[in-house]
A and B are shown apart, each in its own frame.
Chain A
Amino acid sequence: MSKASGGKFRCTQCALEVPFEHFGRRPPFGEGVVFLEDAYTRRDPFSSKATPLFLGGVCKICSKTVCRMQSCSIFYSSRFCVECASQNIEAFPAEVQKDVVIPAP
């Protein structure tokens, strides 16, 4: 489940590129912080203590790597890229629907 560090995290939606350190639910750095999805994380460069910073995850439907920006993906019990979320918009409750960004064709 948990993959050791390595390489660059690259969002397939917005092309953001950031080196990540860990992929998985329980990053080795950070005290007690766990993620409810397989997460690309790295140590928070802005924090004085070692704490994980979530960069993005994997779309449950298309398995593409996406960052956490709302214009790229949405989390609702699982991560969905904006493409898949908008194609399946009816599956989400209204509270979530209003946050789903419809990507420009």
Chain B
Amino acid sequence: MVAPFDWSAYQATLDNLFHREGDAYPAGSNEYEELKDFVARLAKFRAAQAKRGVEESTSADAEAADRLGIPAKFDTRYRVNVGLITDHKRRAAQHRGGCSLPGERVEEYKQMLVLYEDFRQKRQFAKLLKLQTDRAALPISSFAAEITAAVESSQAVVIAGDTGCGKSTQLPQLLMTSGFKQIAVTQPRRIAAVSLCRRVAFETLNEYGDEIAYKIRFDSTRGRGTKVVFLTEGVLLREMVGDPTLKQYEVLVVDEVHERHLSTDLLLGLLKGILAERPDLRVILMSATIDLARYSAYFGNAPVVQVPGRLYPITVEYLPQQPDDEKAQSSAREGGKRRERRGAQRIDARPYLKILERIDQQFPAEQRGDMLVFLSGMQEMTTVADALRPYAAHTRRWVVLLLHSALSVEEQDKVFDIAPDGVRKCVLSTNIAETSVTIDGIRFVVDSGRVKEMTHDVAGSLTQSLQEGWISRASAEQRAGRAGRTGPGHCFRLYSQTDFASFPEFTTPEIRRVGLEQLVLQILALGGGDPRSFDFLDPPPPESLEAAVRSLVSHEAVRAAPSYLEGGREHLVLTPLGEVLSGLPVDVPLGKMLVLGSLFHLSGPVVAMAAALSVQSPFIRLPDGEEGDEARVARQSLRSEHGDAFTLAATFGRWIAIKRGRGGDDSKASGKWCKRHGLEEQRLYEMAKLQRQFQDLLTESGLLKKARGGGMGGGELRRDPLKRKREQQQRRDAQAHLHELQRKRDRDRGRKVLKLSEPLETEPEPEPEPDPDDGAPPEPLDIRSLELKLTVDLEALAEATGRTLGRNDVNLLKVIIASGLYPNVAVPDPNNSQRRESEALFHTRHVADARLHPASVLVGAEVPPTAREVLVYTTLLETHKLYVTNLVRLPALPALLLTGQRIHTTPDCRRLLVDDWLLLRIKEAPDVAQHVVKTACELRASVSKLLRIRLRSHGPAAKESAAAAAAADAPDWVQELVESVRSDEEVYSDDLADRLAQLLDTTVSYTCERIQPQHVPGQFARSKPPNPDRDSAAAPLLRAARAALSEGDQSAPEEGVQVAPFLRWGSLEPFESPFVGHSVHMRKHWQCPVCGEKLLMNLNEIEEHLEAHEGESKKEMFERAAERADHGKGGPDGVRGLAKQAFNGGEESESLEGEGVRVPVQQAGETSGEVENRKTMGDDVGMQAGSAEPEKRETVSAVQRKRYVCEQCDSKVYLFTPPQVLQHKRTHK
């Protein structure tokens, strides 16, 4: 009996001899662990063999063997084609203490290593073969011939395949084997482009070459040998600017067409046009089996190849949620995809928990199968995760994971890991897992039926809002299908079958629900003609297109030019700003901010802010109570009362300073700092990346000077050539190191087994169990840090973001932000002082009662937003409540003057109506008011002019000379000269910047209020008073009454002078309509300020009454009023004020001075003295007139009585006051 040799007893010795770092199987590696098993099994086998007795090996025909040069006598060693170079002999010799293992055992072990390597080689090769056979087994592989034939016969082909049929990975390979060499495959998401590229490269075993590449914004692996490139739709569109017919490609594959992103629709439209010009081009649309006929018809009845998915049967169970407000369900029944605001309560997590419990009861733990839960958003996911986690921890049968697009790729990868035996994954996901991310092994799907989508209020403002609603039937089917990819599955739908039946058939394409500014810009930039006549797959609502055009016109990105070809019809042209914006793959507001920022030499902070506003907030929601207090206190130092953009930029600046400050250990220091402040560091890394991208974009478009050197302290590189060389070497080394780390990370990824105690997201692990196995350093951090250093010039960035902002800078930044974000403006509710802070309400032009987003720094601001301030915001978020997010506060008057699109003023400029909803009253003398308006206008015009000049000077020619100078590596002074030649307006911009900044500090006193839409028409002057001298006292009132009568008549005001596209002077009725609140339906008390009569009248009657006054001459009226005033208590001030206003009402002259009362001298005549007196009282305009006391009526003098011939009472003659005339008339009715 021979016991197997116990190698493990000598592990330490063996480790020392064979398993050091750098050896083939270093201790701790996966291979090393496997090897230990292998060795133990082999030892056992050999012991058993020894027991049986060694068989003599045979010999072959010696002569024949000799002929082939192979040994005749068999030895297993001859079957092994691999060897290992080891250093064990030298190491054993060094080890003086003597080796505990005899030499022959050491050699035996070495032989076992070789056998292990042979075993490993065979196994890995088998894996490789399996990879190939798996591909062949995919459903799409059996359609290869059909697809190839279709592509050969038709320019456009539609390939429809359900998830899991392998179309995205296999079609490019199929095209490659068919001989195509220039293949582009578009993806709606960057992540998909990169991960598909990796996947296909892996499958074709091309991961080290450049045959399969990806190209996303600012990152490309494309090389000379590239045959297939995966790119985002946006990148392809950008390529079309320089290559309008896409000559560089033979085949274009548009993947995930059914997702119908804005860029998808645009791309399809453009491709359709290109096909006619390029008969050799092939276009392949790949879609889920949704709405295929439409795609086929759009491309002239393109052939459709349908590939069935590999789906197992799925049981669908409807579990309608009763308590969850019935309102939501009923509205779903009515209008399908109608949005509705849900109650304030959060999502109810109980149904989800119940399903977990049910699964545990019904299905034995040994039966594998994970769960995928579709929820509408982050908050819902967190709520449900919080509810499920205790159950998961208690039963130890579940691991709860989150999946959403804001996670980094590494974090997302976690959902692909395998749960340990007896444990199921429960992946809570947004609709990202519906089509774009496929998780294997899902057996249960729970579908909330809800989705959050960015929608766009087409009717009114260009406000984007994230709204929750029901999904479409197509989505519901997609979701259910996720359960049947690896075996029969179950789908639990948390809604009723009736609900399902009422869902819309397909998800609304993006083009029908989002703002179309970028689309319009791109169509114009790509020569797609007038966007309003573009051949869309699914035309957007015309009003949405019009709104986008209007918005672009008001941002001065597009202008209408008369076209000579079309017989003078106007067509749309890009302005220089529009051209720049069309090339910036960001929303127009951000783009405009970036452009203005570089124009005013504030690109550092603006770029940081734009980046900050584009990523999710790095501020983690702090737990209530003591737990979060430390971070709350720490955050105070980052906080800026000016708003979120300032706070975020400051935070980013501080983080960069820490990143740059320390040596190699910065990731730890910054990590600690982030933790202390409750910050998600990943978001800051994202900001840094975006920041760099924006910088590159601006450089590319010629708005910024090219920063030389790039990362790693580009600053000093210029001077010292030796240093430069050294730094370059360091940079190369770092780059190589980074690639090594990235590769290692990618390979390490594989599929790991999840730990039960896997922490959720970034939330602190509740059990403080120290895991001894988990001592590995957080590797991704090092990679991120290194990546940051290589891609971002920390030195320059620290300089740009760390710069302390002066008052002028802050003001100017606010102007820049507001210019970009307008019309996203909110004003505080006047009653906010009576509300709790969290209940404070804000109104936008189209939406009332929004709240500040809880994450905003303006929540808990020392000074809450005042009535004289407006807030600009990026998004109107509709979740359980309505929120305005990412806020910056600005003084209302200058902000609105600088950004409003349609500003109307009274002749004295003391009252301004901005975009038909905000009324500004300047409580200063007219000259002060006029000065402010004039200044603001001039500044605005100057900014426009500067934009035009500056952007034109960055047109091709200027850009070329600068680029040429840079490319030629010309000495600095030459480049500076090129700069200075172009910079004749630099001084100008600096001066302008100062003046803009100062305008925000204006001390002018004013109020700002929101007015209801029905009161807007009443604000406008209706018709020009024929002649102020002869205008009757009643005329302005009559106009106001008529205006009030014609409420809702939205005809453009015709009065005044259009001073600028955004400003019309004198178009507002000089004195405010006293008829706010009056209607034709109801009589209301009203005292006629002309005759002083107190009357109960409706609007029609008021009009008639005033018409009667029309007959009186102005002089008469004036005299009467003067007389009344003469009586001392001749009437309330208001009446006199009004009368006096009436005299001056129509005046359009430069003589608006003093208190706005200039008495027509001729008429004042001898009574000028009294007029002088009244001057001081004339300030008050309004409805106080109604409060006149009854006895005052008696003061009406006989002078006002007039002869009145009534035709109805047999031409009787009366002596009546005008009101009496009216009263008399009424008796005849």
Q: List residues of A (24-57) whose CB comes within 8 Å of B's CBs.
A: 30-37, 39, 42-49, 51, 53-55, 57
By the criterion CB–CB under 8 Å, are A31 and B22 in contact? yes
By the criterion CB–CB under 8 Å, are B127 and A91 in contact? no
Question: How many residues of chain A get a CB closer than 8 Å to chain B's CBs?
Answer: 45
Known: A32-B84, A34-B84, A49-B747. A93 touches B59 (CB 8 A): yes
Least distance between A71 CB and chain B CB atoms (Å): 11
- Chain B residue numbers with a CB within 8 Å of A55 are 125, 128
Checking A21, A33, A54, A61 against B24 with a beta-carbon cut-off of 8 angstroms, the contacting residue is A33
By the criterion CB–CB under 8 Å, are B205 and A19 in contact? yes
By the criterion CB–CB under 8 Å, are B60 and A68 in contact? no
Closest chain B residue, CB of each to CB of A61: B68
Checking A43, A46, A68 against B208 with a beta-carbon cut-off of 8 angstroms, the contacting residue is A43
In the complex, what distance in Å separates the CA atom of A43 from the CA atom of B124? 11
Binary contact readout B731-754 vs A (1 if CB under 8 angstroms, 0 otherwise): 000000000000010011010000
Known: A48-B750, A91-B60, A93-B57. A32 touches B124 (CB 8 A): no
Closest chain A residue, CB of each to CB of B749: A48
Tell me, yes or no, whether B362 is within 8 Å of chain A by CB. Answer: no
Tell me, yes or no, whether B72 is within 8 Å of chain A by CB. Answer: yes
Checking A31, A53, A75, A96 against B81 with a beta-carbon cut-off of 8 angstroms, the contacting residue is A75
Known: A18-B128, A18-B205, A53-B125. A31 touches B23 (CB 8 A): yes
Known: A30-B24, A45-B128, A88-B64. A57 touches B82 (CB 8 A): no
By the criterion CB–CB under 8 Å, are B57 and A19 in contact? no
Known: A30-B24, A32-B86, A34-B82. A60 touches B68 (CB 8 A): yes
- Chain A residue numbers with a CB within 8 Å of B81 are 35-37, 39, 54, 57, 75, 79
By the criterion CB–CB under 8 Å, are B23 and A93 in contact? no
Tell me, yes or no, whether B206 is within 8 Å of chain A by CB. Answer: yes
By the criterion CB–CB under 8 Å, are A93 and B124 in contact? no
Q: List residues of B (50-79) whose CB comes within 8 Å of A's CBs.
A: 57-61, 64-65, 67-74, 76, 78-79
Tell me, yes or no, whether B541 is within 8 Å of chain A by CB. Answer: no
By the criterion CB–CB under 8 Å, are B128 and A49 in contact? no
- Chain A residue numbers with a CB within 8 Å of B132 are 16
Checking B30, B70, B86, B117 against A76 with a beta-carbon cut-off of 8 angstroms, the contacting residue is B70
In the complex, what distance in Å separates the CA atom of A78 from the CA atom of B79? 9
In the complex, what distance in Å separates the CA atom of A80 from the CA atom of B82? 16
Least distance between B88 CB and chain A CB atoms (Å): 11
Residue among A31, A48, A69, A96 having the largest count of chain B Cβ atoms under 10 Å: A48
- Chain A residue numbers with a CB within 8 Å of B23 are 31-32
In the complex, what distance in Å separates the CA atom of A48 from the CA atom of B297? 48
- Chain A residue numbers with a CB within 8 Å of B24 are 30-33, 51
By the criterion CB–CB under 8 Å, are B74 and A93 in contact? yes
Least distance between A49 CB and chain B CB atoms (Å): 7
In the complex, what distance in Å separates the CA atom of A72 from the CA atom of B67? 22
Binary contact readout B204-234 vs A (1 if CB under 8 angstroms, 0 otherwise): 1111110000000000000000000000000
Q: List residues of A (88-105) whose CB comes within 8 Å of B's CBs.
A: 88, 90-97
- Chain A residue numbers with a CB within 8 Å of B59 are 93
By the criterion CB–CB under 8 Å, are A33 and B86 in contact? no
In the complex, what distance in Å separates the CA atom of A95 from the CA atom of B65? 14
In the complex, what distance in Å separates the CA atom of A46 from the CA atom of B694? 37
Least distance between B1214 CB and chain A CB atoms (Å): 108
By the criterion CB–CB under 8 Å, are A78 and B69 in contact? yes
Residue among A18, A45, A51 having the largest count of chain B Cβ atoms under 10 Å: A45
Checking A19, A48, A95 against B204 with a beta-carbon cut-off of 8 angstroms, the contacting residue is A19
By the criterion CB–CB under 8 Å, are B68 and A96 in contact? no
In the complex, what distance in Å separates the CA atom of A31 from the CA atom of B26? 10
Least distance between B645 CB and chain A CB atoms (Å): 43
- Chain A residue numbers with a CB within 8 Å of B957 are none
- Chain B residue numbers with a CB within 8 Å of A92 are 60, 65, 70
Tell me, yes or no, whether B93 is within 8 Å of chain A by CB. Answer: no
Tell me, yes or no, whether B29 is within 8 Å of chain A by CB. Answer: yes
Tell me, yes or no, whether B129 is within 8 Å of chain A by CB. Answer: yes
By the criterion CB–CB under 8 Å, are B121 and A78 in contact? no
In the complex, what distance in Å separates the CA atom of A29 from the CA atom of B74? 32
Tell me, yes or no, whether B202 is within 8 Å of chain A by CB. Answer: yes
- Chain B residue numbers with a CB within 8 Å of A49 are 29, 744, 747
Tell me, yes or no, whether B85 is within 8 Å of chain A by CB. Answer: yes
In the complex, what distance in Å separates the CA atom of A63 from the CA atom of B83? 23
- Chain B residue numbers with a CB within 8 Å of A90 are 60-61, 64
Least distance between B597 CB and chain A CB atoms (Å): 44
- Chain B residue numbers with a CB within 8 Å of A32 are 23-24, 84-86
Closest chain B residue, CB of each to CB of A57: B81
Q: List residues of B (72-131) whose CB comes within 8 Å of A's CBs.
A: 72-74, 76, 78-86, 117, 121-122, 124-125, 127-129
- Chain B residue numbers with a CB within 8 Å of A94 are 58, 60, 74
By the criterion CB–CB under 8 Å, are A35 and B69 in contact? no
- Chain A residue numbers with a CB within 8 Å of B121 are 53-54, 68
By the criterion CB–CB under 8 Å, are A96 and B69 in contact? no
By the criterion CB–CB under 8 Å, are A53 and B204 in contact? no
By the criterion CB–CB under 8 Å, are A76 and B82 in contact? no
Closest chain A residue, CB of each to CB of B123: A46
In the complex, what distance in Å separates the CA atom of A77 from the CA atom of B29? 30
In the complex, what distance in Å separates the CA atom of A36 from the CA atom of B70? 13
In the complex, what distance in Å separates the CA atom of A48 from the CA atom of B58? 41
Checking A30, A77, A79 against B71 with a beta-carbon cut-off of 8 angstroms, the contacting residue is A77
By the criterion CB–CB under 8 Å, are A78 and B70 in contact? yes
Residue among A68, A79, A90, A92 having the largest count of chain B Cβ atoms under 10 Å: A92
In the complex, what distance in Å separates the CA atom of A92 from the CA atom of B955? 78
Least distance between A1 CB and chain B CB atoms (Å): 15
Least distance between A13 CB and chain B CB atoms (Å): 13
- Chain B residue numbers with a CB within 8 Å of A60 are 68-69
Closest chain B residue, CB of each to CB of A88: B68
Least distance between B416 CB and chain A CB atoms (Å): 15
- Chain A residue numbers with a CB within 8 Å of B83 are 33-36
In the complex, what distance in Å separates the CA atom of A36 from the CA atom of B83? 7
Known: A31-B22, A76-B78, A79-B81. A91 touches B65 (CB 8 A): yes
By the criterion CB–CB under 8 Å, are B84 and A91 in contact? no
Least distance between A57 CB and chain B CB atoms (Å): 7
Residue among A30, A80, A96 having the largest count of chain B Cβ atoms under 10 Å: A96
Closest chain B residue, CB of each to CB of A36: B81
In the complex, what distance in Å separates the CA atom of A46 from the CA atom of B124? 7
- Chain A residue numbers with a CB within 8 Å of B124 are 44, 46-47, 53
By the criterion CB–CB under 8 Å, are A45 and B202 in contact? yes
In the complex, what distance in Å separates the CA atom of A79 from the CA atom of B70? 10
Checking B60, B67, B72, B125 against A54 with a beta-carbon cut-off of 8 angstroms, the contacting residue is B125
By the criterion CB–CB under 8 Å, are B205 and A42 in contact? yes
Least distance between B370 CB and chain A CB atoms (Å): 23
Closest chain B residue, CB of each to CB of A54: B121
Least distance between A12 CB and chain B CB atoms (Å): 16
- Chain B residue numbers with a CB within 8 Å of A97 are 60
Least distance between B28 CB and chain A CB atoms (Å): 12
Closest chain B residue, CB of each to CB of A14: B129
- Chain B residue numbers with a CB within 8 Å of A88 are 64, 67-68
Known: A60-B69, A91-B65. A96 touches B129 (CB 8 A): no
- Chain B residue numbers with a CB within 8 Å of A47 are 31, 124, 747
By the criterion CB–CB under 8 Å, are A75 and B79 in contact? yes
In the complex, what distance in Å separates the CA atom of A47 from the CA atom of B205? 13
In the complex, what distance in Å separates the CA atom of A1 from the CA atom of B1208? 127
The contact sample of 14 A-B pairs, CB cut-off 8 A, is: A21-B208, A31-B22, A31-B24, A34-B82, A34-B84, A47-B747, A54-B121, A57-B81, A60-B68, A78-B70, A90-B61, A91-B68, A93-B58, A93-B74
Task: Give chain A's interface residues, CB within 8 Å of chain B.
Answer: 16, 18-19, 21, 30-37, 39, 42-49, 51, 53-55, 57, 60-61, 68-69, 75-80, 88, 90-97
Complex A-B, nearest 5 residue pairs according to Cβ-Cβ distance, in ascending order: A93-B74, A91-B64, A48-B747, A32-B85, A94-B58
| Interface contacts beyond A21-B208, A53-B128, A93-B59: sample of 18 additional A-B pairs, CB < 8 Å, sorted by A | A19-B206, A19-B209, A33-B83, A34-B82, A34-B84, A43-B208, A45-B205, A47-B124, A49-B29, A68-B121, A77-B70, A88-B67, A90-B64, A91-B60, A91-B64, A91-B70, A94-B74, A95-B57
